[in-house]
Amino acid sequence: MKYTKILFLFSLNLLLTITSIQAELPAMDKMWASLELASDTASFRINIPENGCVSIISTVPGRKQIDRIWGPRYMKKGTYKLAFPISRIENRSGFVELFNLHIKPSDTIGTRGSGERQFNYPMGIDWDPGRQEILVADTGNDRIVKLSADGRFISQHGGFGISFGDRSEEREDSLDEPFDVATGGFSDFYISDQNNDRVCIFDSYQSYRGNLYPQANDRRNRLDRPRGLKIDTENNVWVIDGRADKVLKITTTGDKLFELGGYGYSSFQLEDPTQIDVNILGEIYIADRGKGRIAIFDRLGSFQREMKDHLKSPTGVAIDPDGMILVCDDTTNELGLYTPRGVRLLHINSAADGSFFRRPSDISVNENQIFVADSGNHRIVTFVRKKSSSAVPWQAKSAVIE
């Protein structure tokens, strides 16, 4: 009888009204969502009162962590029904969010030179959320420059450098055309030291901590002109091996976990890749410059899809806090905002003073700002990032009722 009762309750389905929906039909000019649970599926019915990006998000009680179950996807005004396996949301809660992003140029930092607020073809950039600082790979000056969020000079690291005036002895902490810099991994930052064929480590006190990859005693593994770097949420280091057209995943102890890519014409091979980013789901986004695309792989290195809309030679890629994709292209000289499915929503080609981009090379983003390494103009261009949004909560209780 107990099992008969459970099956009977399943057949009824459990309808959970998420907003304060009355007995009458819900208003079409307001955002609302309802959730219907069955034995093996969950169906969201969502009304979108205006065009925008939609995400279905699950929250983790007591933590800032979120799980993006679906989206973001660009959706036009209307009512939609989305179905998921019950295992994705059972006994969980969260919210459905409708949002739009507004990006506006705000400032430029730097001119050509080797002074405190000067650069020479900067190729890489990253944001340190802990210290609220910008790190720039000032490639032509063989150094890493630290700036405050408003562009004030803080410090520099590396430099081509010589020891005791003897040009035959180069310091270990010197750099030779560093391509990129990435923060993470216990307050350290990592540098792809392009012409020294290595990834090296500095700590937050400007101290050189040695090579991450390859290790000094490693005779099997090599890098050949490493490029883009990224530290993922699990503190793994992703580096592009430039001349090998590969991407390597490395632990913070310098052990290689796996590699993907390699030169070739198939969809899972790469040609002249430059930059990389990894989202909270572990998806890998690669600026595959030679093929004019963003190539997307899953966390195990299997090819998933590609983005090509309006792209010619993408050089930089960054995933913003809402899961949207920012791409810069050094042929079109544009910064574009894309959905994860590759739909371009907007593009910008100039700074606040009206001057146009010239060979932009990399992007970094936080909740309120976007930073672009505008390499050909020897400067950093900053943007204000504003988000307008509305959300409604949902809660999925167990489908089995005693």
- Clarify whether residues 69 and 122 are in a common domain: no
In total, how many domains does the chain have? 2
Considering the domain boundaries, does residue 314 fall inside one? yes
Residue 326's nearest CA partner among 373, 281, 290 is 373
- Clarify whether residues 90 and 124 are in a common domain: no
- 178-183 sheet: strands from edge to edge: 178-183, 189-193, 198-202, 208-213
The CATH number of the domain where 323 resides is what?
Answer: 2.120.10.30
| The two three-digit tokens of residue 72, written as one number | 């973001």
Domain coverage including residue 37: 2-100+389-396
Considering the domain boundaries, does residue 73 fall inside one? yes
| The two three-digit tokens of residue 224, written as one number | 């050949």
- Clarify whether residues 226 and 336 are in a common domain: yes
Considering the domain boundaries, does residue 120 fall inside one? yes
- Clarify whether residues 49 and 128 are in a common domain: no
Q: Rounded to an integer, what distance in angstroms lies between the CA atom of residue 160 and that of residue 299?
A: 36
Considering the domain boundaries, does residue 296 fall inside one? yes
Whether 26 has a pLDDT exceeding 90, the answer reads no
- Clarify whether residues 81 and 56 are in a common domain: yes
Considering the domain boundaries, does residue 257 fall inside one? yes
The model scores a pTM over 0.85: yes
- Output the 3-class SS for the chain: CHHHHHHHHHHHCEEEECCCCCCCCCCCCCCEEEEEECCCEEEEEEEECCCEEEEEEEECCCCCCEEEEEEEEEECCEEEEEEEEHHHCCCEEEEEEEEEEEEEEEEEECEECCCCCEECCCCEEEEECCCCEEEEEEHHHCEEEEEECCCCEEEEEECCCCECCECCCCCCCCCCCEEEEEECCCCCEEEEEHHHCEEEEECCCCCEEEEEECCCCCCCCCCCCEEEEEECCCCCEEEEECCCCEEEEECCCCCEEEEEECECCCCCCECCEEEEEECCCCCEEEEEHHHCEEEEECCCCCEEEEECCCCCCEEEEEECCCCCEEEEECCCCEEEEECCCCCEEEEECECCCCCECCCEEEEEECCCEEEEEEHHHCEEEEEEEEEEEEEEEEEECCCCCC
The CATH number of the domain where 23 resides is what?
Answer: 2.60.40
Q: Is 280 buried (19+), middle (13-18) or exposed (0-12) by CB count in 10 A?
A: middle
Considering the domain boundaries, does residue 32 fall inside one? yes
The total of other beta-carbon atoms located within 10 Å of residue 347's CB is 16
Residue type, 210: G
- Clarify whether residues 82 and 178 are in a common domain: no
pLDDT band for position 398 (50/70/90)?
low
- Percentage, residues of the chain above pLDDT 90: 75
Tell me the average pLDDT across 249-262: 94
- Clarify whether residues 86 and 179 are in a common domain: no
Considering the domain boundaries, does residue 324 fall inside one? yes
- Clarify whether residues 163 and 87 are in a common domain: no
Q: pLDDT of 331-388, one tens digit each?
A: 999 999 999 999 999 999 999 999 999 999 999 999 999 999 999 999 999 999 999 9
- Clarify whether residues 87 and 221 are in a common domain: no
- Clarify whether residues 50 and 91 are in a common domain: yes
pLDDT band for position 185 (50/70/90)?
low
pLDDT of residue 14: 33
Query: In the beta sheet, which residues pair with residue 193?
Result: 178, 198
Considering the domain boundaries, does residue 200 fall inside one? yes
- Clarify whether residues 147 and 60 are in a common domain: no
Q: pLDDT of 53-94, one tens digit each?
A: 999 999 877 666 788 999 999 999 999 999 999 988 888 899
pLDDT of residue 28: 76
- Clarify whether residues 18 and 132 are in a common domain: no
Looking only at the bridges linking them, the beta strands covering 92-109 and 325-329 are unpaired
Q: pLDDT of 126-184, one tens digit each?
A: 999 989 999 999 999 999 999 999 999 999 988 875 444 444 456 778 999 999 999 98
